[in-house]
C-alpha cells in the first residue's frame, strides 16, 4: 500500500516513518505542507492508496487539503486519515464533512494507529475491486447489474453525506457529551425493492443521489452527517433534534423530492417517497454499542417499512423501534 503523509512537524514525520515501517508499510512519501502534499498528489503517476493529513498546518490546513484532494478524481474515494492534536467536536465535524475517512488524535497510541491503518488498507483494497468492476458510471449504465440492493453505495457530491465507514468512524470519535446531544434518525426509500427492480445500476445510483439530496435539503438541524447504509436506507446523526422539527420532516422531504423531479434514464417520472424514523438519542459511548445500534436501527426500520404502500406522506410516519443496548 502506497501512503502519503502530510505534516509540517518533521518530528512527527520521523515518528511516522518508524511506526509505519514497524506495521509492514514501507512504501510511503512525506510532505511538509499542504501545498507540497497537493502538488505531490497531482504529480505522482502511480497514485497513493491511503493519505495521512495533519489538520493544523500553516498556509493550507489539513481540512482544506482534504477538500481539494476529494476534487481530484483519482482520490475521491481513497482513505484519508486525519492525524491531529485537535480533539474538539467542531474539528471532527469539519474534517468528516470535508471528506475524511478516519480521525486519530495525537499523541496517538501505536496499536490504535495500526488498527486504523489496517482498516484503511482494507478499504483501499475494496475500492480497487470496485474500480476493477466498473470504470465509470457510464460503463455501469451499459453493463449487467453489478450493484446489489444491500450494497452501501457511497453517495457523491451531496453536502454532509459521507461513506458508511467514515460515518461509523465519526460516531466512534464523539465524546460522551457530544453523544448526549445527538440523535440517530433513519430514512428509507419506500418500496425500494420494486423500484430497484425496474432500474439499471446507473438509474439506481441517480435515485439514491436524488433521495440523499432531498433529505439533506430538508433537514433543519444545525449539525448533521448522513450516510447510505444499503437497501435505500440513510442514517443521520444530528444535533438539536426536537419533536416539532421531526414532525415537519416528511412533508418537507416530499416537497424537496418534487422539486428535484427524479426520473428514469429515458425521461419517465420516478415516483419516490421517503420514510422518516422516530429519532433515537445516542447516550452511551462504546464501539460495540454504537455498531449494534446502527445495525438494529437499519434492520428495524426496514422491517417496519416492508409492507408500507407507496405514497408521498403528508403526515409524519414513524416506524417504531428501539436501539438494542441503548
- Report the distance separating Cα 286 and Cα 82, nearest Å: 21
Mean pLDDT within 256-282: 88
The confidence score (pLDDT) of residue 90 equals 84
CA distance to 65, 150, 306, 321, 323, per residue, from 300 (Å): 39, 15, 10, 6, 9
Task: Parse the chain into domains and list their residue ranges.
Answer: 3-133, 146-305
Give the pLDDT band of residue 325 (cuts 50, 70, 90): very low
The answer to whether the CB of 60 falls within 8 A of the CB of 52 is no
Give the pLDDT band of residue 128 (cuts 50, 70, 90): low
Give the containing element (helix H, strand E) for 111.
helix 110-133
Residue with cell 511506526: 19
The confidence score (pLDDT) of residue 262 equals 92
Beta-carbon contacts of residue 72 (< 8 Å; ≥ 6 apart):
41, 42
pTM of the model: 0.78
Q: Phi/psi class of residue 112: alpha, beta or left (left: φ > 0; alpha: ψ in -120 to 50)? A: alpha
Q: Assign a CATH topology to domain 3-133.
A: Rossmann fold (3.40.50)
The alpha-helical segments, DSSP class H, found in 134-242 are 137-142, 164-173, 176-180, 192-197, 201-218
CA atoms within 13 A on the CB side of 189: 27
Q: Is the pLDDT of residue 283 over 80?
A: no
The answer to whether the CB of 121 falls within 8 A of the CB of 24 is no
The string over 3-35, giving b where at least 16 C-beta atoms fall within 10 Å of a residue's C-beta and e elsewhere, is: bbbbbbeeebbebbeeebeeeebeebebbebbb
Q: Is the pLDDT of residue 168 over 90?
A: no
Cβ burial of 316 (10 Å; 0-12, 13-18, 19+) is middle
- Of 90-104, 107-121, 158-172, 212-226, the one with minimum mean pLDDT is 107-121
List the grid coordinates of 190: 419506500
The answer to whether the CB of 96 falls within 8 A of the CB of 103 is yes
The confidence score (pLDDT) of residue 109 equals 79
- Report the distance separating Cα 21 and Cα 42, nearest Å: 25
Number of other CB atoms surrounding residue 244 within 10 Å: 7
The answer to whether the CB of 219 falls within 8 A of the CB of 196 is no
Mean pLDDT within 293-310: 59
Please choose, from the candidates 203, 220, 116, the residue with its C-alpha nearest in 3D space to the C-alpha of residue 160. Answer: 220
pLDDT tens for each residue of 83-123:
888 878 888 889 999 999 999 888 777 888 888 888 888 88
Considering the segment(s) 146-305 as one domain, its CATH architecture is 2-Layer Sandwich (3.30)
β 280-281/182-189 pair status: antiparallel
pLDDT tens for each residue of 180-206:
678 888 899 988 988 888 888 889 999
Mean pLDDT within 216-221: 89
pLDDT tens for each residue of 10-22:
999 999 999 989 9
- Of 56-60, 114-118, 302-306, the one with minimum mean pLDDT is 302-306
The confidence score (pLDDT) of residue 315 equals 38
- Report the distance separating Cα 190 and Cα 195, nearest Å: 9
CA distance to 8, 20, 66, 126, 145, per residue, from 56 (Å): 8, 21, 12, 30, 44
The confidence score (pLDDT) of residue 278 equals 79
The confidence score (pLDDT) of residue 310 equals 38
Write down the mean pLDDT value for the chain. 82
Amino acid at each position: 500500500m502506497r501512503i502519503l503523509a502530510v505534516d509540517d512537524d518533521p518530528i512527527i514525520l520521523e515518528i511516522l516513518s518508524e511506526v509505519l515501517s514497524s506495521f509492514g508499510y514501507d512504501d510511503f512519501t512525506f510532505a511538509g505542507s499542504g501545498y507540497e502534499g497537493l502538488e505531490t498528489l497531482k504529480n505522482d503517476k502511480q497514485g497513493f492508496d491511503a493519505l495521512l493529513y495533519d489538520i493544523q498546518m500553516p498556509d493550507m490546513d489539513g481540512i482544506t487539503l482534504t477538500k481539494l484532494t476529494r476534487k481530484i478524481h483519482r482520490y475521491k474515494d481513497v482513505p484519508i486519515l486525519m492525524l491531529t492534536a485537535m480533539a474538539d467536536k467542531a474539528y471532527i465535524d469539519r474534517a468528516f464533512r470535508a471528506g475524511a475517512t478516519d480521525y486519530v488524535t495525537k499523541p496517538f497510541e501505536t496499536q490504535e494507529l495500526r488498527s486504523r491503518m489496517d482498516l484503511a488498507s482494507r478499504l483501499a483494497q475494496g475500492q480497487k475491486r470496485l474500480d476493477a468492476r466498473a470504470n465509470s458510471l457510464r460503463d455501469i449504465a451499459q453493463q449487467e447489474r453489478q450493484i446489489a440492493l444491500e450494497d452501501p453505495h457511497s453517495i457523491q457530491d451531496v453536502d454532509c453525506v459521507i461513506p458508511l465507514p467514515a460515518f461509523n468512524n465519526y460516531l466512534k470519535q464523539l465524546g460522551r457529551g457530544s453523544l448526549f446531544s445527538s440523535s440517530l434518525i433513519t430514512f428509507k426509500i419506500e418500496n425500494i425493492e420494486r423500484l430497484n427492480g425496474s432500474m439499471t445500476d446507473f438509474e439506481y445510483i441517480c435515485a439514491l443521489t436524488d433521495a440523499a439530496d432531498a433529505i439533506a435539503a430538508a433537514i433543519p438541524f444545525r449539525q448533521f452527517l448522513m450516510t447510505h447504509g444499503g437497501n435505500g436506507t440513510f442514517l443521520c446523526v444530528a444535533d438539536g433534534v426536537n419533536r416539532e422539527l421531526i414532525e415537519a420532516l416528511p412533508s418537507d422531504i416530499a416537497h424537496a423530492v418534487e422539486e428535484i423531479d427524479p426520473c428514469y434514464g429515458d425521461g419517465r417520472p420516478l415516483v419516490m417517497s421517503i420514510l422518516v424514523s422516530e429519532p433515537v438519542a445516542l447516550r452511551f459511548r462504546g464501539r460495540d454499542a454504537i455498531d449494534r445500534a446502527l445495525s438494529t436501527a437499519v434492520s428495524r426500520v426496514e422491517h417496519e417499512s416492508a409492507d408500507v404502500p407507496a405514497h408521498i406522506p403528508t403526515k409524519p410516519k414513524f416506524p417504531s423501534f428501539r436501539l438494542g443496548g441503548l
